[in-house]
Amino acid sequence: MLKQLLSLFLLSALIISCQDQPSPKNAEKPVPTAESKPSKLQDFKSNLATELNPYVLSILQDKNKHYWFGTNEGVYRYDGQSLIRFTTQDGLFQNQVQHIQEDEKGHLWFETGGYGVNRFDGQTITTFKTKDEVPRKNSPDKHWPIAPGDLWFYAGGGVFQYSRDTFRYCPLASKPPYQFSTYGVYSTLKDRSGKLWLGTQSMGVCCYDGQDFRWFTELGLKGPAVLDLFEDSKGHLWFGTNGNGVFRYDGKTLRNFTAEQGLTNPDFIKNGKQGPGTLARVWSINEDHAGNIWLGTGDAGVWRYDGTKLHNYTSQDGLPDKGIEVIYRDQLGELWFGTNGAGVYRFQDEAFTKFTVQ
C-alpha cells in the first residue's frame, strides 16, 4: 500500500520517538491556499498503453464504470477496451498515485507522492497546493468544518480538505503540510455517522467528530504507520498497521485482532524480518458481498476472515509473492488486489487470476 511515499512505507515499521503530542483541537489556522494553473491534456491517443505498471497502489471504478489504477508511474484509465495513462506530462503533481477519489460532480481526485493533490474533470488536470508554511504556535482554537461531500487528503502534518471550492490545510501539529513528520496522515476515512478518522505515521489513529479530537494509541496502535482504515457492514472499524497488526474498534472497545489470533511478528519491529504466516503488516482492508473481511499484507499474502475463522491465501492460490497495496470492491462486488510489483489480481472461483488488458 504505498499510501504515501513508497520509501516511507518501507521505513514506517520502525517506532519513531517523538515529542508529547499537542492537542489537535489547538491546531493553527490553515494557511491560505491557492490553486495552480491547470495543465491542458493533449490528445488522449498519445497516452495509450498496453499494460499497467506493476506497482499498483490504488484502484477506483468511477460513475461511468471506468476503472482507474494509480501506480508508481502515473494513473491509468481502463474503459473495457483501451488503457490510457496520465503522468506529470499531463499535469500530475507526481507520478506516484497513492489514492483515488471521485466527488459528487464526477471529478476524479488523485493523491500523489510529495502530498500532491490533483483533480481531473475529464479534460483538465489541476493541481491544488497550499503555501508551505508552518502554522504559528499558540493561535486561537479552530475547529475543522466537516461538510457533506467534502474530500480529505494526506498531508505531512495533518490533512488537506476540499469543500465548497475551498482547499485548506488542517494540521494535527505545528508541522508544515509538505514535510514528512510523525503526524503525517497515511489513511483517511469518513464513517457513516460523519466522523473523520485519520491514520498517522506513528502517532496512532485520530478521530474527529466535528468538535472534539480523540486519539487511539493503546495496544501498540501508536508506533507503526497506520496504512489503512475501513468500516465494515456492521459499523466496526478496522485499522491496519505496518508492524503491529490489524485493530478492530466496535464503538466501545479497541482490540488488537492480530494479537488475539496469535499472528504477531515482533521481529519485524525489532529488525525488519519478514513474517510469512503472520498478520503483522496489514496494508489494505475490504469486505466482500458475503461479509467476509479481507486483509492484505506486506509479506504474508491475503487473509480472509468469516467472523469465526481466518484463511491465508498465498502463492499456492495464484497470488504473487508481493505486498498487497490495495483491495478494492467494484460495483458488481468483485474484489481487485493491487500488488507491490506484480500488477492487479482478481479473486474468482476461489483462486486469484491476473488482470490483463484484452
213, 217, 218, 224 alpha-carbon torsion, rounded to 10°? 160
**The Cα angle at residue 244 between residues 290 and 310, in degrees rounded to 5:** 30
The pTM (predicted TM-score) of the whole model is: 0.89
What pLDDT shows up at residue 349? Answer: 81
Cell numbers given for 56:
499498483
Q: State residue 309's pLDDT score.
A: 97
pLDDT, tens digit, 9 for 90 and up, residues 62-81: 999 999 999 999 999 999 99
Query: pLDDT at position 113, please?
Result: 96
What pLDDT was estimated at residue 8?
41
Q: Tell me, what's the pLDDT at 174?
A: 87
Collect the ranges in the chain with pLDDT lower than 50. Answer: 1-34, 138-141
Q: Which three cell numbers stand for residue 175?
A: 508541522
Query: Residue 171 is placed in which grid cell?
Result: 494540521
Partners of 100 in beta bridges: 110
CATH code for the part of the protein at 6-354? 2.130.10.10
Q: Please give, one letter per residue, the 3-state secondary structure of the chain.
A: CCCCCHHHHHHCCCCCCCCCCCCHHHCCCCCCEEECCCEECCCHHHHEECCCCCEEEEEEECCCCCEEEEECCEEEEECCCCEEEECHHHCCCCCCEEEEEECCCCCEEEEEHHHEEEEECCCEEEEEEECCCCCCCCCCCCCCCCCCCCEEEEECCEEEEEECCEEEEEECCCCCCCCCCCCCEEEEEECCCCCEEEEECCCCEEEECCCCEEEECHHHCCCCCEEEEEECCCCCEEEEEECCCEEEECCCCEEEHHHHCCCCCHHHHHHCCCCCCCCCEEEEEEECCCCCEEEEECCCCEEEECCCCEEEECHHHCCCCCCEEEEEECCCCCEEEEEECCCEEEEECCEEEECCCC
Q: What is the pLDDT of residue 351?
A: 86
